[in-house]
């Protein structure tokens, strides 16, 4: 915007927290700060942290509740990153936007290419993933313009083009599509994209499902529904079904297997179940390679009779059940899992590990009180990242702390606090307040993640630094509109982060 | 309607209309925009119709991808009818059409007034046109749909402590409620009874939060559609009948009301106290009838 050149410089200066300020190169690109969360770590072990508020400057006036984020880094070109949230098209059009970065997450734009937008919230549930080799971006969404939890599986060859994403699958009564892509690295199927969309298909009583295509990048790819629930349910499973696939083709999934549920109170019990397929779901009985020796049924129950409250809340965020799983790219036998279990009024997250491809599991490696949205990822060297959002404090001082922890052995955890923001502000516009998930992934040694949080520009809220694209005054802790003068009320924004491995 | 054609329909409607002056050809205001022969930069002189996010762009220089093959010149003032494209440090929009900003044409478009209000008026007109029934009236009561109350009775009769869901649920459950509206006047469609039952979602989930939430005593205009509340709209879906079976806790009952009037869009209810909007549409229609 030529007319606002001087304003742009002012905005940049004001929009960067001083404690957080990434060093600027001559080219103006932000470099990650190097501030570890754990004292006493050796210099070489100190990770670099980049945290960016993703709302572009041209949308400085927006006050949307941009919750429930997901992220996809292109493994073939990590400078290319796509992300999503409940962000409406700024012009309130028929296509919802994705966030696009072509410089490794330093700067972000919005590109409206997702079909089926709701004018005020964009798309419904959405997750994204890139092919490992060919740049195709895949998405699993619930259409925002539908009233029937309508699943679309989408793809685009060019994620920053204006062309709407292509619809590959379209059906009703499905919840929380969770995208995972694995590209075959050897053999006759080399180069083919295998797409796994974990979802809660409410058309079946054992509703935990994976929609799978063995060649999703091809013309008119076919998908098949794989029911992964093998036990009796009270009519359905819980919403989260999360696949994770090793580059050698070994595919895992974890789900919240409901065992009882009271519709009036929202209280229920669930087993947390892990399934595995050693050939990536290509055989006649996919995802049946793990059998629980206790009952002889498919799927190892890593936790029994966990409690959940589908009508519960933690702060302003609804609860209901969380699961996460990551397989180590260094060794497909090593798997980490996380889940929640209500202990009275405490919403407790647990982290476990299997070293034998899911057959047996450790005791708790980590427990976190009153935390949700767990996300796990393991880098090429076997280092584990664990992202979560924790409600701490009480009354007016209550905060959402977003933390990412790292471990090389499951015993010693190094914690980085990314954000600690006021929990009761802004007011809830809709559920979910922060999102029913956040996201963490790796490419090589580096960790990339996304979460949603209160966007008040306050230095102490981001102890490891942050970069704002949108206009803000860090002295008065005020967001500013496109004119860089008019105040804008705080809202929920998506934040991208990268931690070098 | 097949998904692709619906997308095409919606994408063919401009969402940001403005008068602007061409500043440069084959240029963009952001590095992220791919530049070709049809890419120009334009200073926004006047926003004519826009959502709130884009209403303050007057004076800003933005990027426009031109429609068609028409040539434009630097310094030329034009009206651009556009849809969204890229938002970064600046914005880029795609023109569905553009036309010279001649005085007579500007008068025909009617460029005066608040661009956000203009957009709201258009949306209300469209919603009015799509409605099956438009009434003015008062909400007398809000209640659970009959099939929900019958299910609860069945659970109690069966002596069950826990109530399984009547059908699978998700966090996107609409939590249907019914508003009983005393009808004052019928402004569109046909309705003989003194009351109309309007279904609305009480849920604050992302999928439903924006729908009107009724409570007793509310008075205003109701723009209603007669639509099955659980009607699938993806291909291969099955249309629901006016009645359906509910199996829950050992009961099976025929219940009425699946095909009800619904209010799902924020514009579907307008209080009497709010000026313009539905009221103006109705008055304008009455004026047309009078003449």
Under DSSP, the state recorded for A396 is: G
Mean of the pLDDT values across residues B235-248? 33
Total count of residues recorded for chain B: 291
- For residue B59, the distance in angstroms to the closest alpha carbon of chain A comes to 7
Residue A57 in 3-state DSSP?
helix
Both structure tokens of A70: 């997901």
pLDDT in tens, B181-238: 999 999 999 999 999 999 999 999 999 999 999 999 999 999 999 875 444 333 433 3
pLDDT in tens, A234-266: 999 999 999 999 999 999 999 999 999 998 899
Query: Measured between CB atoms, does B144 come within 8 Å of chain A?
Result: no
Question: What residues form DSSP beta bridges with A178?
Answer: A198
Neighbours of B105 (CB within 10 A): 12
pLDDT in tens, A266-303: 999 999 999 999 999 999 999 999 999 999 999 999 99
CB atoms closer than 10 angstroms to residue B190: 7
Using CA atoms of B110, B113, B118, B121 in order, give the dihedral in degrees to the nearest 10.
Answer: -100
- Say if the Cβ atoms of B3 and A200 lie within 8 Å: no
pLDDT at B60: 93
CA distance B103 to B152: 65
Cβ contact (<8 Å) for A148 and B83? no
**CA-wise closest residue to A99 among A152, A133, A33, A52:** A52
Q: Tell me how far CA of residue B84 lies from CA of A41, B95, B96, B252, in angstroms.
A: 48, 9, 10, 50
* pLDDT band for position B1 (cuts 50, 70, 90): very low
Model confidence, pTM: 0.89
Beta strands in B2-148 (DSSP E): 16-25, 39-49, 61-65, 77-87, 91-100, 133-143
pLDDT at B153: 56
Query: Which residue is it, tokens 């013309």?
Result: A219
Q: Which residue among B3, B209, B234 places its CB closest to the CB of A148?
A: B234
In angstroms, rounded to a whole number, what is the distance separating the alpha carbons of residues A176 and A240?
Answer: 6
Nearest CB to B232; choose among A4, A116, A172: A172
What is the sign of the dihedral through the CA atoms of A209, B170, A337 and A192? positive
Does the CB of B202 have a partner CB in chain A at under 8 Å?
A: no
pLDDT of residue B289: 57
* Interface-testing mutation among A10, A83, A93, A209, with chain B (most B C-beta atoms within 10 A): A93
What pairs with residue B61 in β-bridges? B43
Is it the case that residue B73 has pLDDT exceeding 60? yes
ipTM for the assembly? 0.89
Could you tell me which residues are beta bridge partners of residue A286? Answer: none
What angle do the packed helices B278-290 and B115-130 form, to 10 degrees? 70
- A6: CB partners within 8 A, 6+ apart: none
pLDDT at A5 over 50: no
Contact pairs from chain A to chain B, CB under 8 Å: 205
In this prediction, residue B108 carries a pLDDT of 66
Give the model's pLDDT for residue B281: 87
- The pLDDT-based confidence of B282 (bands split at 50, 70, 90) is confident
Among A8-17, A312-321, A407-416, B218-227, which stretch is predicted with the lowest mean pLDDT?
A8-17
**Residue B97: C-alpha distances to residues A193, A208, A211, B222 (Å):** 39, 47, 41, 34
pLDDT, average across residues B253-282:
78
> In the predicted model, what is the mean pLDDT of residues A480-485?
94
Identify the residue with better confidence: A156 or B13: A156
Sorting pLDDT into bands at 50, 70 and 90, what band is A8?
Answer: very low
How confident is the model at residue B162, as a pLDDT? Answer: 61
**Dihedral of the alpha carbons of B274, B278, B282, B283, in degrees to the nearest 10:** 40
Contact A170 B171 (CB under 8 A): no
How many angstroms away from the CA of A189 is the closest CA of chain B?
31
The DSSP line for B140-183 is: EEEE--HHHHHHHHHHHHTT-SS---SS---TT---EEEEEEEE
All residues of chain B having their beta carbon less than 8 Å from the beta carbon of residue A152 are 3
Q: Which of A95, A207, A483 sits opposite B56 (nearest CB)?
A: A483
B284 touches chain A (CB under 8 A): no
What per-residue confidence (pLDDT) applies to B228?
58
Q: Is 60 exceeded by the pLDDT of residue A427?
A: yes
What are the backbone angles phi and psi of residue A224, rounded to the nearest 5°?
-125, 150
B124-179 pLDDT, tens digit per residue, is 999 999 999 999 999 999 999 976 666 555 555 555 556 666 678 899 999 999 99
- What's the confidence (pLDDT) of residue A271? 98
Averaged pLDDT score across all residues of chain B: 81
pLDDT at residue B285, rounded to an integer = 72
Q: How far apart are CA A406 and CA A409, in angstroms?
A: 9
């Amino acid at each position: 915007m030529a007319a606002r050149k001087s304003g742009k410089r002012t905005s940049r200066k004001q929009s960067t927290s001083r404690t957080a300020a990434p060093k600027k190169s001559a080219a103006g690109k932000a470099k990650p700060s190097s501030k570890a969360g754990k004292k006493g770590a050796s210099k070489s072990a100190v990770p670099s942290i980049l945290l960016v508020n993703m709302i572009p400057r041209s949308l400085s006036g927006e006050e949307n509740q941009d919750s429930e984020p997901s992220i996809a880094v292109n493994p073939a070109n990590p400078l290319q990153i796509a992300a999503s949230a409940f962000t409406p098209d700024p012009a309130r059009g028929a296509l919802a936007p994705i966030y696009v970065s072509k410089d490794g997450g330093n700067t972000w734009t919005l590109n409206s290419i997702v079909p089926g937008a709701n004018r005020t919230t964009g798309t419904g549930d959405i997750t994204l993933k890139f092919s490992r080799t060919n740049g195709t971006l895949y998405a699993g969404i619930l259409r925002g313009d539908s009233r029937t939890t309508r699943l679309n599986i989408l793809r685009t060859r060019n994620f920053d083009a204006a062309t709407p994403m292509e619809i590959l699958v379209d059906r009703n009564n499905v919840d929380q599509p969770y995208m995972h892509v694995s590209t075959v690295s050897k053999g006759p199927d080399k180069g083919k994209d295998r797409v796994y969309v974990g979802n809660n298909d409410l058309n079946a009583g054992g509703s935990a499902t994976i929609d799978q295509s063995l060649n999703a990048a091809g013309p008119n790819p076919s998908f098949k529904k794989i029911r992964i629930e093998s036990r009796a349910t009270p009519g359905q499973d819980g919403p989260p079904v999360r696949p994770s696939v090793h580059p050698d083709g070994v595919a895992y999934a974890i789900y919240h297997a409901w065992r009882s549920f009271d519709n009036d109170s929202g209280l229920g019990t669930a087993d947390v179940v892990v399934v595995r397929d050693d050939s990536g779901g290509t055989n006649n009985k996919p995802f049946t390679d793990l059998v629980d020796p206790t009952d002889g049924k498919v799927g190892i129950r890593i936790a029994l009779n966990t409690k959940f409250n589908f009508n519960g809340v933690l702060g302003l965020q609804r609860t209901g059940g969380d699961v996460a799983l990551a397989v180590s790219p260094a060794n497909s036998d090593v798997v980490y899992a996380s889940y929640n279990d209500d202990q009275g009024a405490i919403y407790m997250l647990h982290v476990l590990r299997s070293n034998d491809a899911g057959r047996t599991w450790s005791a708790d490696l980590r427990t976190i009180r009153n935390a949700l949205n767990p996300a796990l990822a393991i880098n090429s060297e076997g280092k584990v990242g664990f992202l979560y959002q924790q409600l701490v404090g009480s009354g007016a001082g209550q905060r959402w702390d977003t933390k990412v922890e790292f471990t090389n052995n499951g015993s010693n955890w190094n914690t980085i606090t990314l954000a600690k923001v006021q929990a009761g502000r802004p007011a809830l516009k809709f559920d979910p307040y922060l999102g029913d998930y956040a996201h963490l992934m790796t490419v090589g040694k580096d960790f990339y993640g996304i979460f949603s949080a209160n966007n008040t520009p306050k230095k102490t809220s981001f102890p490891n630094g942050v970069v704002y694209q949108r206009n803000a005054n860090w002295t008065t802790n005020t967001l500013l509109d496109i004119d860089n003068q008019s105040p804008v009320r705080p809202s929920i924004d998506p934040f991208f982060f990268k931690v070098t491995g | 309607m097949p998904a692709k054609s619906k997308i095409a329909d919606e994408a063919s409607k401009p969402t940001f209309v403005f008068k602007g002056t061409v500043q440069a050809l084959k240029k963009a205001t952001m590095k992220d925009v791919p530049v070709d022969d049809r890419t120009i930069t334009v200073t926004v002189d006047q926003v004519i119709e826009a959502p709130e996010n884009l209403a303050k762009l007057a004076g800003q220089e933005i990027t426009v991808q031109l429609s068609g093959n028409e040539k434009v010149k630097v310094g030329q003032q034009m009206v651009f009818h556009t849809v969204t494209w890229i938002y970064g440090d600046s914005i880029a929009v795609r023109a569905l059409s553009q036309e010279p900003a001649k005085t007579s044409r500007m008068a025909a478009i009617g460029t005066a007034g608040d661009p956000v209000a203009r957009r709201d008026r258009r949306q209300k007109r469209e919603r009015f046109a799509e409605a099956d029934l438009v009434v003015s009236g008062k909400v007398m009561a809000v209640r659970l749909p009959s099939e929900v109350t019958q299910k609860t009775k069945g659970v109690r009769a069966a002596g069950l402590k826990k109530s399984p869901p009547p059908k699978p649920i998700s966090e996107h459950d609409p939590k249907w409620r019914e508003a009983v509206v005393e009808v004052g006047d019928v402004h569109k469609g046909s309705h003989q009874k003194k009351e109309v039952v309007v279904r609305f979602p009480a849920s604050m989930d992302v999928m439903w939060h924006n729908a009107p939430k009724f409570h007793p005593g509310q008075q205003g205009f109701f723009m209603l559609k007669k639509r099955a509340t659980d009607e699938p709209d993806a291909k291969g879906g099955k249309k629901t009948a006016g009645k359906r079976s509910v199996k829950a806790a050992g009961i099976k009952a025929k219940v009425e009301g699946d095909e009800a009037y619904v209010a799902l869009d924020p514009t579907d209810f307008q209080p009497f106290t709010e000026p313009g909007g539905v009221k103006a549409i109705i008055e304008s229609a009455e004026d047309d009838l009078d003449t």
